[in-house]
């Protein structure tokens, strides 16, 4: 027999028990219990719209922040990309979210590469001038 813990008093109780025998607290229904399947909830267009809007906003904010606040842009882009991949896994195509988040990441990587190149260039010029002395 499998046991679970009471949500109120923490006592070990039967997995199938609806109430705790110790304190009487109602227990959440265990979805892993055999025979019971959660009610079917079709993914409504409203839900999909909200998810896609979230990745859209995250992607746009990511691109804007990539120029001004790279750390925030990076966080937004990564979250947007993960969310859009999740949307795709759930059967919701979210190409816009992926493209925007991907673009934000490309801009961020490009920024980092450019800043490294410029600092190397600056260092090279500094060495060049220094060798003149």
Crossing angle of helices 95-132/70-89, nearest 10°? 150
Confirm or reject binding of residue 20 to Zn ion (CB under 5 A): yes
Confirm or reject binding of residue 113 to Zn ion (CB under 5 A): no
Cα separation, 102 vs 37, in Å, equals 37
Choice between 6 and 58, CB closer to Zn ion: 6
Q: Rounded to the nearest 5°, which phi and psi values hold at 105? A: -65, -40
Give the interface size with Zn ion as a residue count (CB under 5 A): 8
Q: Are the CB atoms for 77 and 66 separated by under 8 Å?
A: yes
15, 23, 109, 120: which one binds Zn ion (CB under 5 A): 23
9, 15, 29, 47: which one binds Zn ion (CB under 5 A): 9
Two tokens, residue 17 = 């028990």
12, 15, 19, 22: which one binds Zn ion (CB under 5 A): 22
Confirm or reject binding of residue 66 to Zn ion (CB under 5 A): no
Residues that bind Zn ion (CB under 5 A): 6, 8-9, 11, 20, 22-23, 25
């Amino acid at each position: 027999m499998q046991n679970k813990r009471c949500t109120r008093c923490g006592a070990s109780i039967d997995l199938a028990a609806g109430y705790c025998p110790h304190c009487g607290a109602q227990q959440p229904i265990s979805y892993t219990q055999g025979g019971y399947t959660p009610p079917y909830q079709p993914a409504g267009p409203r839900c999909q719209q909200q998810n896609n809007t979230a990745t859209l906003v995250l992607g746009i904010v990511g691109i804007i922040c990539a120029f001004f606040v790279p750390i925030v842009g990076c966080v937004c882009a990564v979250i947007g990309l993960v969310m859009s991949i999740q949307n795709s896994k759930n059967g919701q195509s979210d190409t816009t979210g992926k493209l925007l988040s991907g673009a934000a990441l490309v801009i961020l990587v490009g920024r980092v590469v450019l800043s490294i190149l410029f600092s190397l260039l600056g260092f090279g010029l500094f060495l060049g001038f220094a060798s003149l002395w």
